Amino acid sequence: MTTVLGISAFFHDSAACLVRDGVVVAAASEERFTRRKGDAAFPAEAAAWCLKVGGLTANALDAVAFYEKPIQHLDRLFESWLYTAPRGWRAFLKGGPLWAREKLDLDGAIRRGLGGYQGKLLWCEHHESHAASAFYPSPFERAAVLTIDGVGEWATATMGIGHGPSLQLTHELRYPDSLGLLYSACTYQAGFKVNSGEYKLMGLAPYGTPRFVNTILEHLVDVRDDGSFRLHLEPFSFVDGLTMTNARFDALFEGPPRAPESPITARDKDLAASVQAVTEMIVQRMVRTVTREQACRNLCLAGGVALNAVANGTLRRDKLVDNLWVQPAAGDAGGALGAALLAWHRWFGGARTANGTTDGMQGALLGPQFSDDEIEAALTADGAQFERLGRAGVVQRTAEWLANGRIVGWFDGAMEFGPRALGARSILADPRPADMQQRLNAHIKLREGFRPFAPVVLADRAADYFEHIQGDESPYMLQVVPVRREAPSLPAITHHDGSARVQTVTAARTPGLHAVLTAFAERTRCPVLVNTSFNIRGEPVVHTPSQAFACLMRTEIDALAIGPYFVERASQPLLGDARWHITLEPD
């Protein structure tokens, strides 16, 4: 058996993934272990956990695959600094020493991080790692592949074709022309954090009017019919400075960046709506090009821009593809998975089998899980009062509480890999009450009131509530589609423009969540629940039973359903304990 450990690290969202004979054995982001959101450090804890699951030491691996080529990355940085000199001097003074101190000896850093690894170390290109993460786990024997993000070494977007075990990238767009960086610049201007706030901008867009579209197309980006484009760099500062935009950008968009945490203005909403519209236009043009060039209407997507579920939803709505598969860990964390799979198929000549229906991500439930004994020991150590109901009893109690308007933290089985809560580390709620979105944002998630919530729906009932979804076509919550107007009102999951980011659920992939939905539907005749990630603002999703209990105690979640145990918040003797005090981290 051939075993490869994939690693992504040193930019943001570091992760590790273990692949054995082409099968994903384990995958996790470092942030879940260290509790530092978006942790960029070497994923020592995630890698150690992957090796533990595989029953291996590092030196028993056949190879370690890193998700990008650092020398090419450094080449881009130095060329950018030299090209923009003397303006780029400040960026060089900040970035140069960092590279000299931490990134020039990545070979040594990786080997030390794995406790003295002495074996084969393979270097993959950034966008090939994304492409591999998109195609190899997909259910397709043959598919067009499109990757779009901020930037890798030089590429910012690539197109290609996957067929069997073969993957070939045929086109690329190069830095500084980047759709991801355009979106991040507008994220920065709207007052959100780059590399984590882009999803907020997407959620804000329906509240605005796209009145800046012409300004963007005239002054920021020159878009061609095939989806390629050139950025006009004068209003941007990401090449030669320490910010994303400058005074020219301010003049185009009615003022400077919004101060973080200050009130959101109509300008911010309109900028969000405008860049979202331009993003959808560019993505659609790229998709038309890659499906035409490759003569294939199966499409696989990855890269940070592939997390733009609104753009993804337009591809099915406008019938640009016959079949769409998006890597659930589409950002840099998924590069670890892609690098490991690329090494298996390309370096080791591994075979690949696709059946056309089932993907290789195992529902993205690839992370740590805890036995009933481990859960009980953790709850006891934390001083929790709990009932042991058995798993069937927990399902029924959870459905009963949800039907009565209560909010339940749901902790079940292996943790998700990727940014979405898919039924292992989720907060669940009834989507029907008019005040549920406000309750969740203000008292549970502790975040901005405009932020939408996603629905999870029984796959065989999805078409009754949502357009453009038939059966189990959105298992990873990566497509936004219209809510059917004739469907019963579900205000907690219906966004301002009448859309929703849908997750479909089957018993085969997510049996626990499917059982809760079924029991809830039996009580209410509604096969839909709110599903949001089990965390509060600024923190990673909970990993351990103790973290789940702490989140229960620190918020107004009514109960925690965890394995065979049910924990009622109101029954806890430690509610006033100082350890539940919250200090929110900026996100």
Question: CA–CA separation, 268 vs 187, rounded Å?
Answer: 9
DSSP per-residue codes, 330-382:
-STHHHHHHHHHHIIIIIS-------SS--SSGGG--S----HHHHHHHHHHT
Task: Determine the Cα–Cα distance for residues 515 and 395; give it in Å rounded to an integer.
Answer: 7
Q: Would you call the peptide bond into 86 cis, given omega within 30 degrees of 0 as the criterion?
A: yes
With tokens 């626990």, the residue in question is 512
β-partners of residue 529 are: 456
Q: Tokens 């699951």 — which residue?
A: 53
The reported pLDDT for the residue numbered 157 is 98
Count Cα neighbours of 476 within 13 Å in the Cβ-side half-sphere: 28
132-to-90, 135, 335, 574 alpha-carbon distances in Å: 36, 5, 8, 48
Instruction: Take residue 294 and report the two structure tokens written for it.
Output: 């490759």
Instruction: Identify the H or E element spanning 387.
Output: strand 387-388
Q: Give the Cα separation of 194 and 300 in Å (integer).
A: 25
The residue among 301, 39, 340 whose CA lies nearest residue 195 is: 39
In angstroms, the CA 477 to CA 491 distance is: 18
CA 21 to centroid of chain Cα atoms: 26
CA distances 470 to 317, 341, 443, Å, are 12, 30, 34
Among residues 12, 127, 345, 495, which one is catalytic? 12
Pairing relationship of beta strands 408-411 and 559-562 according to DSSP bridges? parallel
Please report the pLDDT score of residue 85 as a whole number.
61
Lookup result for tokens 């589609």 = 481
Cα separation of 388 and 383, whole Å? Answer: 15
The two structure tokens encoding residue 496: 């301002």
User: HSE on the CB side for 532, CA within 13 Å?
Assistant: 25
In angstroms, the Cα distances linking 4 to 73, 195, 287, 345 are 23, 28, 32, 11
Residue among 2, 31, 1, 37 nearest 15 (CA) = 31
Can you state the angle between helices 333-342 and 126-135, rounded to 10 degrees?
Answer: 80
d(CA 331, CA 152): 11
* Residues lower than pLDDT 50 in the chain: none
319: left (phi over 0), alpha (psi -120 to 50) or beta: left
State the pLDDT at residue 104: 73
3-state secondary structure of 4: strand
Give the pLDDT confidence score for residue 350 in this predicted structure: 97
- Identify whether the C-beta of residue 210 lies closer than 8 Å to the C-beta of residue 273: yes
List b or e across 494-529, with b for residues whose CB sees 16 or more CB atoms inside 10 angstroms.
bbeeebbbbbbbbeebbbbbbbbbebbbeebebbbb
Which strand (E) or helix (H) includes residue 7?
strand 3-8
pLDDT (0 to 100) of residue 578: 78
Of 123, 124, 122, 120, which Cα lies nearest the Cα of 59? Answer: 120
Distance CA 109, CA 43 (A): 11
Residue appearing with tokens 């049910």: 566
pTM: predicted TM-score of the whole model, two decimal places = 0.95
CA atoms of 432 and 437, how far apart (whole Å) = 10
- Sheet-wide strand order for 528-533: 387-388, 565-568, 559-562, 408-411, 425-429, 528-533, 454-458, 499-505, 479-482
Residue listed under structure tokens 């806890």 = 572
The DSSP secondary-structure symbol of 21 reads: T
Please report which helix (H) or strand (E) contains residue 167, including its range: strand 166-174
Tell me how far apart the terminal alpha carbons of the chain are, to the nearest angstrom: 42
Q: Is residue 310 within 8 Å of residue 334, measured between CB atoms?
A: no
Q: Which residues of 209-221 are buried (b: 16+ CB within 10 A; e: fewer)?
A: ebebbeebbebbb
Nearest residue to 574 (alpha-carbon basis) of 558, 550, 547: 550
Three-state DSSP class for residue 198: helix
Question: In whole angstroms, what is the distance from residue 574 CA to residue 260 CA?
Answer: 34
The two three-digit tokens of residue 115, written as one number? 């406790």
Rounded-to-integer distance, Cα 296 and Cα 443, Å: 47
What does DSSP assign to residue 483? Answer: B
12 is catalytic: yes
